[in-house]
């Protein structure tokens, strides 16, 4: 008699665990693009001076606005055929054709004026002072510092000073 209730309790514990495992697999599947198999979300760069942003994934959808900054970082949040739903640093979203995007990474200086340093330390000498809105090429990131290149100058900035890289992402 003791075995029946115990086996029932074990069965009740095992079923929810297996259901949770199934949900975990579904959650993981949502973090990969259905078209490219690449991570979603991920950062890319606009590769043209003017990029039409549409209300939906196709030319039949109206142009909602136009990006006018070549090399600006955007975040891909969804994929549909040759179209990518992107989000800019202000959180605005829309659809662009994949041919307007590049995998080369750039970042945007955010907040206030930032110091580009020779090494990844607050005590390191300044290389330059960067204003908000400056676009730089992302070279590498580790922990709280990222190495960037802007106008021929290379140096390090705090990760919190730039937009275009995830908090948990390392890049070498």
Q: Return the pLDDT at 21.
A: 41
Q: Return the pLDDT at 158.
A: 96
Tens digits of pLDDT across the chain (172 residues)? 433 443 333 333 333 433 334 434 334 445 898 899 999 999 999 999 999 999 999 999 999 999 999 999 999 999 999 999 999 999 999 999 999 999 999 999 999 999 999 999 999 999 999 999 999 999 999 889 999 999 999 999 999 999 999 988 877 7
pTM of the predicted model as reported, rounded to 2 decimal places: 0.80
Q: Return the pLDDT at 88.
A: 98
113 close to 129: Cβ distance less than 8 angstroms: yes
Q: How far apart are CA 19 and CA 8, in angstroms?
A: 17
CATH class of 107-163: mainly beta
Residue ranges of domains in the chain: 1-30, 42-103, 107-163
Q: Which DSSP string corresponds to 27-79?
A: HHHTTB-TTT--BSSEEEEE-SS-EEEESSSSTTSPEEEEE--TT-EEEEEEE
| pLDDT tens-place string over residues 38-79 | 999 999 999 999 999 999 999 999 999 999 999 999 999 999
CATH class of 42-103: mainly beta
Query: DSSP letter at 125?
Result: P
Q: Which residues contact 75 (CB under 8 A, 6 or more apart)?
A: 41, 42, 43, 44, 86, 87, 88, 164
Tokens 């730089």 -> residue: 136
Same CATH topology for 42-103 and 107-163: the answer is yes
The tokens of 26 are what? 């579904």
């Amino acid at each position: 008699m003791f075995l029946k209730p115990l086996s029932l309790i074990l069965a009740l514990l095992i079923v929810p665990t297996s259901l949770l495992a199934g949900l975990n697999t579904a959650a993981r599947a949502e973090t990969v693009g259905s078209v490219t198999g690449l991570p979603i979300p991920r950062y890319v760069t606009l590769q043209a001076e003017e990029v039409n942003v549409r209300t939906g994934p196709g030319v039949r959808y109206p142009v909602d606005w136009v990006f006018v900054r070549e090399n600006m970082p955007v975040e891909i949040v969804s994929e549909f055929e040759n179209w990518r739903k992107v989000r800019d640093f202000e959180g605005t979203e829309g659809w662009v054709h994949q041919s307007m995007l590049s995998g080369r990474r750039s970042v945007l200086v955010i907040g206030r004026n930032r110091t580009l340093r020779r090494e990844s330390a607050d005590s390191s000498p300044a290389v330059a002072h960067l204003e908000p809105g400056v676009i730089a090429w992302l070279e590498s990131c580790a922990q709280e510092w990222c190495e960037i290149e802007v106008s021929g100058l290379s140096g390090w900035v705090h990760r919190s000073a730039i937009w275009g890289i995830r908090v948990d992402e390392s890049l070498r």
